[in-house]
Amino acid sequence: MKAFALGLAAILLAAPAVSMAGDKVIHLPFDAGVAAAKQTGQIDGSVRFYLAGTGPRGKIVDDNVTISRKTNAFGKSDADTCNRVLATDLIYLQNEAKRAGANAVVDIISNYNYVEFKDGQNFECHKGFLMSGVALKAKLAKVP
């Protein structure tokens, strides 16, 4: 019984280290992630999404919208888990835009742990052994 308890304690103490040991930064195409979310019906296409430096100018309705979600990464490919968590972020941003009367989310940048990553084509995802996360910062706008 004592050996079992010691073994269980060792596993429980090692679990946080194992879940964080595989943490890696991945950059994936943003447009492909948006297209996948549209194709599966997770977003409806009524709100357009533009990375910083790529979108049209319009009237800014809200200049500080942030979202940071995580999803299960265990046994999933980098692209699958990262696009899945991106989709949950896009759903939130779409709903916030609609609520604010905006038709676009503009100036989107990755903002994982408040470290900004700006790229005109890619978003940043952090994938660990158990969880993946995507954090975004954006503005809501009415664009032509």
Residue closest to 87 by CA, chosen among 126, 129, 41, 121: 41
Name residues whose C-beta falls within 8 Å of residue 124's C-beta, 6 or more positions apart in sequence.
Answer: 25, 26, 27, 110, 112, 117, 134
- pLDDT at position 8 over 50: no
pLDDT per residue as tens digits for the range 83-141:
999 999 999 999 999 999 999 999 999 999 999 999 999 999 999 999 999 999 999 99
User: β-strand 48-51 against 104-112: which pairing, if any?
Assistant: parallel
> Within 10 Å of residue 6's Cβ, how many Cβ atoms?
10
Mean pLDDT, to the nearest integer, of 20-32? 85
Q: Which of 55, 82, 76, 98 is nearest to 136 (CA)?
A: 82
**Residue 100: alpha-carbon gap to chain centroid:** 21
The DSSP call for residue 57 is: P
Is residue 14 very low, low, confident or very high in pLDDT (cuts 50, 70, 90)?
very low
Could you tell me which residues are beta bridge partners of residue 115?
112
Domains and CATH numbers, the chain: 22-142 (3.30.110)
